[in-house]
Amino acid sequence: MADRRPTPLDMISKLRSATPARIFLPRAGAALTTRATLDFQLAHAEARDAVEERLDAESLFGDLTSRGLKVVCVRSAARDRRSFLLRPDLGRRLDDESRERLKSAAGDYDLAFVIAEGLSARAIDRHAIPLLEKTLHSLDRHSWMIAPIVLAEQGRVALGDDIGETLGARLVAVFIGERPGLSSPDSLGVYLTFAPRVGRTDAERNCLSNIRPQGLTYDEAARKLLYLCNEARRRKLTGVELKEEAETLASDGLREIDEKES
Amino acid sequence: MYATTIRGTSYRFPDLKALMAKATPLRSGDCLAGIAATSAAERVAAQMALADLPLSTFLNEALVPYEEDEVTRLILDSHDRKAFAPIASLTVGEFRDWLLSDAANQETLTALTFGLTPEMVAAVSKICRNQDLILIAAKRRVVTRFRNTLGLRGRLSSRIQPNHPTDDARGVLASAIDGLLLGNGDAVIGVNPASDNPEQCYELLRLLDELRETLNIPTQSCVLAHVTTTLQLMERQAPVDLVFQSIGGTQAANSSFGIDLALLRESREAALALNRGTIGDNVMYFETGQGSALSANAHWNCDQQTLEARAYGVARIFEPLLINTVVGFIGPEYLFDGKQITRAALEDHFCGKLLGLPMGCDVCYTNHAEADQNDMDDLLTLLAVAGVNYVMGVPGADDVMLNYQSTSYHDVLAVRHMLDLAPAPEFAQWLADVGLTDTQGEIQRQAVPASFAPLLERA
């Protein structure tokens, strides 16, 4: 027989804070109430806009050069957003003109930073400069030869391989907008690759994910990135082998590489 | 060499896999692979040539070499010629007509199951319209059992998918309870772990098992870890109901998942030995999805839909309780928009059912695909009409760990209500017994049964 005593709703609401999931949503019949429906629509709209937005390379170029940094702008072989989404191979390759431009900036570099919009220009817009500044501030500039900062339009993670190889950098750090989640349209990822060259696999990289104030903070991300850079240089590798060691020292935030984001 | 001439223009297709690829309705993954038809007319020409092809061709010409692929060997070696006999003389086009006719019903389709190869059903799906895919699939129910009965006509089940970004026990529990209160979870309560760490998976298994035991729910639980992790956990007597694994349609694709057929056999034996099912021994749970072989560069220049059907050829020998295509998860470079996702899901459901599988579907999309929740509403309704065994219940349709959108607990309620579908019978009885449903079987508003109190107090 059914037990119809008053329900322990308070015990349930106590659980609400245990997860960011959309639980205990209000119902209208078998559907959601208007407000809950529109909240979802707004979240999806923000994620979609984040995917469609373009990197404002000009303004970012200005922001970086005004900080005294050398900057080179490049593009991938994907000409527009549609071909970027449909042809991952094009987003991983420089266009010919960009390659020529990069060649003239080539040198003997320990580390190159690449800033690419990936799937969220919003993430770059909000988090790339704060993270870059914190990272550069912590790097010992006497022992690290840093390449000009590369701003890449329509770039995927592996574009860093082409860029790093062309520049002659021993290590490349790609700052990239991650595939937007419904509740995180502006998540930044950083992928670090030792001895970058075309054809490197994701297993040969280390990744910091979910960089944003509500996720992995700039300070934490910069600290972890610095650790990875130093270890990568010392051991002359990145990837699975470095990850296992790094995890014991700096456990959270070092995630498995999600191939969907690369 | 296959060829057809339409109004004086002749179209040539060098081999069977090229013909199959060119006959496939447009999708971005086949374009990415460089094997799609180059014009709309060429696609129809290929479909016409395919329609005239005898079904038996697929027994004589392998799309992926027999010597180099254990999936091909499995498919051809396990083909049942006696079951195939009634349709042995038909072409692909005649087979479509037969499937639509009254001669094809639950009984005859069941008898035909192992006479069909994945390539045959993939071929006929390519010349079916969406309506045909629904109409034919609706004839064929596939029933499986572990602690309840899934797949009966007039039923729609759901998986509670209570994922959490850090596998937090209270967070997972909160999402699962929300699903139960909304009548979801008869297919399985199944968590994708954020980490494949065995200890963490063990904790999740214990959590879900305790939830099920405490509330005495006639359902099963699963932690969707890699099969090797689950094998380890079974050795340690962890409460494993179902063994989960993602599978693909070629040996190389499976190898990219870190598995082969022998490993799947071993894990099934181990799960059967635990003897945890009360009314049946379907102990496997598989997920698949078009494009997985291409993304692993393991596609042998075959189209992604045919390879998906071959994954079902793998699945069926393990008699799974559950199998679902995760149709829109892979991204727009494989299925670009809502139209392509919908088509793929209907094909997958159709092929799976004809091959004798208890097909479910994760009706889903990512934020970089040209799709939205309206597309999911459409697809969910179409699949429910086609008789899909189960779909996903994700809180608010937003998976906060895997970062994609699926269907919600509420969506399951809505479709059950619209199409007069009920949960699995044992589960429906449980919902009534604990007071979650009224005498009409409708979910009660705000009903939190007192029997949930001990569990909530501990949480």
pLDDT band at A244; cut points 50, 70, 90? low
Here the tokens at position A122 are 């919003």
Cα of A54 to nearest chain B Cα, Å: 14
Determine what percent of chain A is predicted with pLDDT higher than 70.
Answer: 89
> In this complex, which of A5, A27, A40 lies closest to B450 when CB atoms are compared?
A5
DSSP 8-state symbol, A259 = G
Which letter, b or e, does each residue of B244-268 get, where b requires 16 or more Cβ atoms within 10 Å of its Cβ? bbbbbbbbbbbebbebebebbeebb
For residue A36, being part of any structural domain is answered with no
Cβ contacts below 8 Å, chain A against chain B, sum to: 152
Backbone angles phi, psi at A175, to 5 degrees: -90, 125
Predicted confidence (pLDDT) per residue in B335-358, tens digit: 999 999 999 999 999 999 999 999
Predicted confidence (pLDDT) per residue in A52-109, tens digit: 999 999 999 999 999 999 999 999 999 999 999 999 999 999 999 999 999 999 999 9
Here the tokens at position B394 are 């994700």
Q: Identify the pLDDT of residue A249.
A: 52
| Number of separate helices (H) and strands (E) present in chain B | 22, 14
In this complex, do A87 and B333 lie within 8 Å of one another by their Cβ atoms?
yes
Pairwise CA distance, residues B224 & B238, whole Å:
14
Q: Where are the beta strands (DSSP E) in B247-336?
A: 284-288, 322-326
Residues of B within 8 A of A14 (CB-CB) are 456, 459
**Domain of residue A187, CATH code:** 3.40.50.11240
Pair B40, B34: CB distance under 8 Å: no
Predicted confidence (pLDDT) per residue in A193-215, tens digit: 999 999 898 889 999 988 999 88
For residue A5, being part of any structural domain is answered with no
In this predicted structure, the answer to whether residue B259 has a pLDDT above a threshold of 60 is: yes
Cα of A67 to nearest chain B Cα, Å: 33
Pairwise CA distance, residues A193 & A169, whole Å:
10
Residues of A within 8 A of B443 (CB-CB) are 30
* B190 beta partners: B222
Pairwise CA distance, residues A173 & B3, whole Å:
52
Pairwise CA distance, residues B182 & B39, whole Å:
47
In this predicted structure, the answer to whether residue B233 has a pLDDT above a threshold of 80 is: yes
Q: Which of B164, B410, B436 to mutate to test the interface with A (most CBs of A within 10 A)?
A: B410
Considering only alpha carbons, which residue of chain A is nearest residue B183?
A30
For residue A238, being part of any structural domain is answered with yes
Q: What is the DSSP string of B122-190?
A: HHHHHT--HHHHHHHHTT----EESSSEE--TTB-EEEE----TT--HHHHHHHHHHHHHTT--SSEEE
pLDDT band at A260; cut points 50, 70, 90? very low
| ipTM of the complex as predicted | 0.94
Pairwise CA distance, residues A74 & A79, whole Å:
12
> In this complex, which of A7, A21, A30 lies closest to B395 when CB atoms are compared?
A21
> In this complex, which of B165, B177, B295 lies closest to A12 when CB atoms are compared?
B177
Count of domains in chain A? 1
For residue A26, being part of any structural domain is answered with no
Residues of B within 8 A of A11 (CB-CB) are 448, 453, 456-457, 459
Cα of B163 to nearest chain A Cα, Å: 8
Domains parsed from chain B with CATH numbers: 2-137 (1.10.220.70), 144-450 (3.20.20.70)
CB atoms within 10 A of CB A30: 17
Q: What is the DSSP string of B276-294?
A: --SS----EEEEE-TTHHH
For residue A77, being part of any structural domain is answered with yes
In this complex, do A2 and B435 lie within 8 Å of one another by their Cβ atoms?
yes
The residue ranking higher by pLDDT, B102 or B165, is B102
pLDDT band at B195; cut points 50, 70, 90? confident
Here the tokens at position A37 are 């429906």
Cα of B417 to nearest chain A Cα, Å: 7
For residue A39, being part of any structural domain is answered with no
For residue A23, being part of any structural domain is answered with no
* B319 beta partners: none
Pairwise CA distance, residues B358 & B353, whole Å:
7
Residues of B within 8 A of A42 (CB-CB) are none
The residue ranking higher by pLDDT, A249 or B37, is B37
For residue A16, being part of any structural domain is answered with no
Considering only alpha carbons, which residue of chain B is nearest residue A53?
B368
In this complex, do A51 and B331 lie within 8 Å of one another by their Cβ atoms?
no
Sign of CA dihedral A11, A17, A18, A20: positive
- Averaged pLDDT score across all residues of chain A: 89
Structural domain that includes position A129: 55-257
Predicted confidence (pLDDT) per residue in B376-427, tens digit: 999 999 999 999 999 999 999 999 989 999 999 999 999 999 999 999 999 9
Cα of B31 to nearest chain A Cα, Å: 9
Cβ-in-10-Å burial (0-12, 13-18, 19+) of A101 comes to middle
* B322 beta partners: B285
Q: What is the DSSP string of B94-106?
A: HHHHHHHSTT--H
In this predicted structure, the answer to whether residue B119 has a pLDDT above a threshold of 60 is: yes
Q: Which of A10, A19, A81 to mutate to test the interface with B (most CBs of B within 10 A)?
A: A19
Q: What is the 3-state secondary structure (H, E, C) of B343-367?
A: HHHHHHHHHHHHCCCCEEEECCECC
In this complex, do B395 and A119 lie within 8 Å of one another by their Cβ atoms?
no
- Averaged pLDDT score across all residues of chain B: 96
Task: State mean pLDDT over B294-301.
Answer: 94
